[in-house]
Structure 1
Amino acid sequence: MYTSFTKMDSPVQIPFKSFIQLKPEETTALYLQIVFEFIKAIQIGLLPEGTKLPGTRILCKVLEVNRNTLIKAFQDLELQGWIEILPNKGTFILSEKQQKNKADFSSDESNNMRKTNEGFTFKRSTILENPKETSDLPYQFNDGLPDLRLVQSDVLARLYVSKLKNQKTTKTWEQVQAQSHLNFKTQFSNFLNLTRGIRISTSNLLTTNSHEISLYLVTKLLISPGDKVVVASPGYYISNMTLSDSGAQVITIPVDKDGIITEQLKQICDEHQIRILYLTSNYHYPTTTSLSAKKRMEVLELANRYGFVIIEDDYDFDFHYDNNPVLPLAALDSNERVVYIGSFGRSLPAGFGYGFIAAPADFIKELEKHQNILEPGIDVIKEQVLTDWIKEGEVHRLSKKNKKIYKERRDYFVVLLKEKLNGKIKFQVPLRGLAIWVEWLDDFNLIKLQKQCAINGLFLPKTVLYQTKNLTATRLGFGHFDSSEMENAVTILRQSLDAIL
């Protein structure tokens, strides 16, 4: 069987107490809390495949639990396929191993139906825990978000109010909704054809209220429990959670400077029936690399040969700084193997952005049935405002203006990293996006760095920290900083690094 991990030999360095949060006072059995916390850590990437866990004698002291309790938790984790216990070798994370459907995992205590004080039962997800954190510290890194201060809220507000006041028509509300939505889809499909080189009509397009809803709808239709889905590692924690929650068996493959290792993808396809390949091809999350032209053709050829579907997630196309942006796989797909999802309007105020799906017409038609339950209403006024903005070229103008600002910020952030962290990091300057993937050259614990940064007034959320035996890396977003904020944030980062070393 193909295995995509390397056994790791230094488990005691893993800061388990920082992400295994046990609450003995709760009614849930302590061993089950351990099971749920480990599954959550695996799903969001804190315990990558191949990670070697400490022996139970060591780990029970670290977690301050009885050894028999920990052994029972490990037995459950192995039974579900999350870990592999090898005699005389150790215990290893094994998230690609076939996992039992949660419904088949039967035990009075381990059943996910938990009774509440109100007297009814409901399902609890061990996968969809929100890993995001908030902080009041003056300086905060994120994984690559735009600057809300650059949003033209006043312009959009005036247009919105103007449209709202001028709603005078003899048509029924249903007719107005249908006509406005068709006009919006027409302009939006033209916009995608022009900017991303894909060839679609309105029948190939579904717009949603967010990128996350788009991914949820696609996985709902494409994945049945037990289907094997290939993702890159390291990968996007939100998509991994969505895929796992759908019942997929997630298989990971590594990435290099040119994207996923296609030779290993072929090896997996030879050994398994793969349903889906999930890719962030233009701007890989988190490493920011782009899938090379050669590998793009290889991936499409493999999809045709082995019959799997490619979910291409182009979450950050809006921010590219070269004159010849890399076109998505969907622009090259002649065999309808690609479902292309993305975001639109990330520089617009909250509520004005969109998610979208571009795919074969019959698949879009089926998606609409599910969307009608999840998102039954259409914001007619918002769609009319954005239709006018696209038609009049305002979206292009705003995009061009913002890209100039963000390119200047990227370039200055690169200067600061080279100046203040010289000899401590290595990185490649990304051609798109609002974050830089930084690999640290010293051997240290990222959680210690996080805590020291917090003492000095800088917040590093766990979602930007990546650490395994052979990798210590951080995804540092720069888009939300102005120059002085960048200087202060990077200065604190260096001071904190010096303090823990």
Structure 2
Amino acid sequence: MRLLDHRNRPIFIKPIVQFIMQVLSSFLHIDKNDTSPVYLQIGNQLMGLVKAGTLPAGYRLPSTRQLALSLSVHRKTVIRAYDELLAQGWLESKTGSGTFVARHLPAFKPQTLTPGLTNTAQVAGFNIHTATHLHRKVILTNTPLHLDDGFPDTRLAPVLDMSRAYRTQLLTGNPYTRLGYGDTRGSAWLREELATYLNQTRGLHITPANIILVRGTVMGLYLACTGLLQAGDTVVTGEPGWMGAQMNILQAGANLIKISVDEYGLDIDELDQLCRQQPVRMVYVTSHHHYPTTVALRADRRVQLLALAQKHGFIIFEDDYDYDFHYQNKPLMPLASADEAGMVLYCGSFSKTISPAIRVGYLVGAENVIEHLARLRRIVDRQGDTLLENAVAELLQNGIIQRHLRKSLRVYRQRRDVFCDLMNSQLHNHVQFKIPDGGLAVWTQFDQHIDLTKLSQSALKQGLYLDGESVDSNTIRLGFASSTVEELALSVEILAKLLGDI
């Protein structure tokens, strides 16, 4: 190998050094198409040679000038590569002697790559103990038509008002306060507005100290289960019920017991019998519109449930996921509004009110419970999105969310009526349902001979999404709120055709 200096004059190198450089440079390759800087390419490749055992501890590297000439790069590039490895401890330098592979490194055995080795980017080298209750499919769909689980129509969301409010929070005020760390319980402003709003609309009697802001009902339930349950505690839910709640309960190590739900909601007599037999720590309930059936918990059962909680000392976790959408009359007041013994944790969010992307929810309880859960929240998520929370507070203060809810209620009521009429006229031979008093979906029972999984797969090919995983007795939720009247008509038309071909 004949090396030239910057003036194209030959450089004479001792044969042994020349041999070392030939061997080393054969391992180093500069990729001009690589987005990584050249010095990092050199440094990473040298590090790889050390890890592979090719360059042993104490090995003397060529001078920066010699390696730069060998690789046809600027000497400063090699200097920077060496400096990077020196800083990381892979190399060591001795004045007047040169640069060496660090002697303190352990001896790396040469490794030979063989076919079939595990790709560590895909599979870790350590064991993972998974739980079956966590294996729940994440639904991502971009089909033009959808009869989903009961989602709001994000096209109705007050995005312009939200963007203005968010921009205001981002650009105005003391940046140290607005953009820094805040209260683990969430924005003080939003908790103040929520206390007023929930007292006015839900009949609660709370202050900001009774509220912790969360990123949605799932987070509120996670905090409650993790912070208030111990392994082996008994928790009761309705059957059928929400898998998201069941996952949190099981993850906390609790013993999950399901009791029946009928046309009047959770069977409180069955709960009473259970409480006589064993201690119950928590009851999870969706009292306003039971998920998934949409039935409301009847008034006498509400009174009984609160009385049982006080008598046996169990927590009621009230998930009020769609309180604002009730069409027949005024919404039923939540259990929390009649709780005189401090047994209810009340949870809601703006994910159904505005959009699933707006990750702002609230958990309401006694002050000492909120303080306890705030300490737990700190190790899960230091705080929420203060800018977003303050933006929501501004929308509440200005009445924008309230106007949005009134508008959405009118739109969703119309869509419910149209959708139910369409199903009665075109699908009556295949489905049975009751027109829901509220909520964003219709609990629909299909004939037993219909395979809902195959039906959903066929519908997907036609550009229509529906959840083919039946919760109970070939029954699923068909969400109407996120579709326009025209989209609902097309969706029912597709279903009618597919069911007619069965």
Cα deviations by residue, 1:85-116 (Å, 9 ceiling, x for unpaired): xxxxxxxxxxxxxxxxxxxxxxxxxxxxxxx9
Q: CA RMSD in A?
A: 2.6
The answer as to 2:139 corresponding to 1:129 is no
Q: Which amino acid aligns with 2:317?
A: I
Q: CA deviation at 1:180?
A: 8.8
SS at match of 2:501: helix
Q: CA deviation at 1:258?
A: 0.5
Cα deviations by residue, 1:327-372 (Å, 9 ceiling, x for unpaired): 1111111111111111135343555341211111101000000111
TM-score by length of 2: 0.71
TM-score by length of 1: 0.71
Say whether the 8 Å CA contact 1:206–1:358 is kept in structure 2.
yes
The percent identity for this pair of structures is 31
Q: CA deviation at 1:182?
A: 1.9
SS at match of 1:149: helix
Change (3 A) 1:129 1:172: closer
Say whether the 8 Å CA contact 1:206–1:368 is kept in structure 2.
yes
The corresponding residue for 2:111 is: none
Which region of structure 1 is more displaced relative to structure 2, 144-153 or 446-455?
446-455
Change (3 A) 1:411 1:172: closer
Cα deviations by residue, 1:200-244 (Å, 9 ceiling, x for unpaired): 111111111222111100111121111111110010011111111
Change (3 A) 1:485 1:367: same
Change (3 A) 1:170 1:243: closer
Q: CA deviation at 1:390?
A: 1.4
After the TM superposition, which segments of 4 or more aligned residues of structure 1 sit over 4 Å from their partners?
Answer: 168-180
Cα deviations by residue, 1:138-168 (Å, 9 ceiling, x for unpaired): 3222110011111222221122223322224
Of 186, 189, 192 in structure 1, the residue corresponding to residue 192 of structure 2 is 186
- In 1, the alpha carbon distance for the partners of 2:186 and 2:284 equals 33
Say whether the 8 Å CA contact 2:467–2:476 is kept in structure 1.
no
Change (3 A) 1:207 1:308: same
The corresponding residue for 2:17 is: none
Q: CA deviation at 1:172?
A: 9.0
Q: What is the aligned residue count?
A: 383
- In 1, the alpha carbon distance for the partners of 2:145 and 2:130 equals 35
- In 2, the alpha carbon distance for the partners of 1:299 and 1:352 equals 32
Of 419, 426, 434 in structure 2, the residue corresponding to residue 420 of structure 1 is 426
- In 1, the alpha carbon distance for the partners of 2:152 and 2:254 equals 32
Q: CA deviation at 1:315?
A: 1.2
Of 350, 356, 365 in structure 2, the residue corresponding to residue 344 of structure 1 is 350
Q: CA deviation at 1:311?
A: 0.9
- In 2, the alpha carbon distance for the partners of 1:370 and 1:179 equals 10
Change (3 A) 1:441 1:408: same
Greater C-alpha Rg: 2
Change (3 A) 1:412 1:158: same
Say whether the 8 Å CA contact 1:153–1:349 is kept in structure 2.
no
Of 491, 494, 502 in structure 2, the residue corresponding to residue 492 of structure 1 is 494
Q: CA deviation at 1:486?
A: 0.4
The corresponding residue for 2:482 is: 480
- In 1, the alpha carbon distance for the partners of 2:193 and 2:231 equals 37
SS at match of 1:291: coil
Cα deviations by residue, 1:376-421 (Å, 9 ceiling, x for unpaired): 1343332332222212212211111111111111111111111111
Unaligned runs of 5+ in 1: 1-115
SS at match of 1:229: strand
Change (3 A) 1:187 1:173: same
SS at match of 1:348: coil
- In 1, the alpha carbon distance for the partners of 2:451 and 2:496 equals 15
The corresponding residue for 2:43 is: none
Change (3 A) 1:426 1:354: same
The corresponding residue for 1:233 is: 239
Q: CA deviation at 1:310?
A: 0.9
Which region of structure 1 is more displaced relative to structure 2, 350-359 or 293-302?
350-359
Q: After superposition, where does 1:329-408 map in structure 2 within 5 Å?
A: 329-344=335-350, 346-349=352-355, 351-408=357-414
Q: After superposition, where does 1:86-485 map in structure 2 within 5 Å?
A: 118-168=124-174, 181-344=187-350, 346-349=352-355, 351-463=357-469, 465-467=470-472, 471-485=473-487
